[in-house]
Amino acid sequence: MSAGNPDLRRQVEENRGPLKKLQLLIPGLNSYRRSEDIRVADELLRNQVADKLDLSRENLEGLRKQMANAGDFTNLSSVGSLIFQIQQFSGEVRHAQQGYSGLAASISIDEAKLNSLYEYDYEFVSSSISVLGSTSALVYDPSSPGNILAALSTISHNLSDLKRKWSIRMEAVSNIQLK
């Protein structure tokens, strides 16, 4: 996934096999096929965001190890808290319910609404890249352990922003379900 173009919908469309292409030709099945393809793109995107969060967690675990090896226990609880938050959020993103596009679904979400949900994800992906970038840039100096606090604050801010964007997306999904 590139930062400039996280849209996986086109890639999913291009990788349709013969059966999926046949489904597009059959009236009644074509909208089902398109909806399922958008759902697959969403799942791929969420898994890539969760992968970035897992890398962020690994970066923080590396920092925690450096701090422990240096005998610096002053900020370990802050680092541990961020590790826990990132791990929990990664699981939430990776395993979020993606819905079902049955032929006679009780709640109808058309292709346009699914596409609009996917548009929320662009901001979401950008924020996950910020979280990963802020954890990748960590430099621990054991001679001045307090210097890490600014970096931890930036990570915490970026993670909060990512969670807020995820909430906006989930709220949009909920609004669709209530209609």
Q: Minimal CA–CA distance to 124: which of 49, 51, 57, 43?
A: 49
- What string of pLDDT tens digits covers the 179 residues of the chain? 444 555 666 776 677 776 666 666 667 667 677 777 777 777 888 899 999 999 999 999 999 999 999 999 999 999 999 999 999 999 999 988 665 555 555 555 666 766 666 677 778 888 999 999 999 989 999 998 888 999 999 999 999 999 998 888 777 765 654 43
pTM equals: 0.76
Contact (Cβ atoms closer than 8 angstroms) between residue 108 and residue 177: no
